[in-house]
Chain A
C-alpha cells in the first residue's frame, strides 16, 4: 500500500504517521508538502493531526484552502481513501468532505489522554479487521473535538451506519460520562457517504506500537491494508 502523509504548516503528527506507516506497517510512505499539487499516486492519504496555520480563525479553516487540498478533494471524490486524524478530521469538515463541525470541548480544556472507543461499524475499509463492538484504547489530544451537526445529519449518519467510533467505557458502554468533549452521541469518528473518507479525533498512530502503551490503532491500518489488497 502506498501512503501519502500531507504536511501542513503546523502539522505535528506527520512524523508519527510516517513512522507507523513506514516502519511499523512496512508501507511505501512519503510526505506531501501542502503546496504541492502531486499526491504521488497513493492508495491512502493521511491528513495528520496538529495545529495547521496555528488554528487561526477556526481549526482547519485555512488549511482547507492549501494548494494540495484541491487534489485531496479530487482524490476523495474519485473514491480514493482518505483518513483525517484530529486536525485532519477538522480539515475534512471544513473542506466539506465530511458533514458537521467542531466546537470547543465542553470543558473548554485541551484534553490529552487515553480514551476507550467502541467500534460501531466493521464493514468499512477502515475497520474490516476489527470485531463488532470491539473496544479500542487510543489517545485523544485536542481542544476542539466537540462534534456537532444538525439533527437530520446525525440521523443520516446513524441510519447509514456512518458513525464508526463512539467514546465508551472500557467495557463498551456508551454514556455521557465517557464522553470526553461533549460530542453529539459520543461521536469520535465518522465516514463520508461513499465510505472512502474517515475522520476521527483519536490518534491511532499514537497507539500502534506496544512501547507506546497500546497497539489498538493497528487494527485500522491492518484493515486498510486488507482492503487495499497489498
Chain B
C-alpha cells in the first residue's frame, strides 16, 4: 500500500447560476476591482488515502467524488493526485 494525497476542486457547472459567486463578484466591483469579469465559488477537498497504486487511488477518488463529494447534477470536479 502507498499513501497518496489528492486535491479535489469542485465548482458549479458553467450552465448553473452561482448566486454566491455573483455576490462576491459585485463586492469586488464595489471595492474598485472593475476589471473583474467573472467569479465562481467552489469547494476544495484534501484527501489522504492508502491504495495499491496510482490507478487504484484514481478509481477510488472518482467513486468518492461521484457518490458523495460532488453532486454531478449541478457540479463538476477535478482531481489532482500527488
Contact = CB atoms under 8 A, between A and B. Distances in A.
A101 B23 contact: no
Contacts of B17: 103, 106, 148, 182
B19 A105 contact: yes
A185 B26 CA distance: 26
B71 interface: yes
B19 A104 contact: yes
B23 A108 contact: yes
B19 A108 contact: yes
Give the residue among B15, B16, B68 with the most A Cβ atoms within 10 A. B68
Contacts of B31: none
Interface string B38-76: 000000000000000000000000000000110101100
Contacts, number: 38
B20 A61 contact: no
Contacts of A65: 68
Contacts of B74: 101, 103, 148
A65 B19 CA distance: 28
Contacts of A108: 19-20, 23
Interface of A: 57-58, 61, 65, 93-94, 99-101, 103-108, 146, 148-150, 182
Interface of B: 12, 15-20, 23, 68-69, 71, 73-74
8 contacts: A57-B68, A93-B73, A101-B71, A103-B12, A103-B17, A104-B20, A150-B15, A182-B17
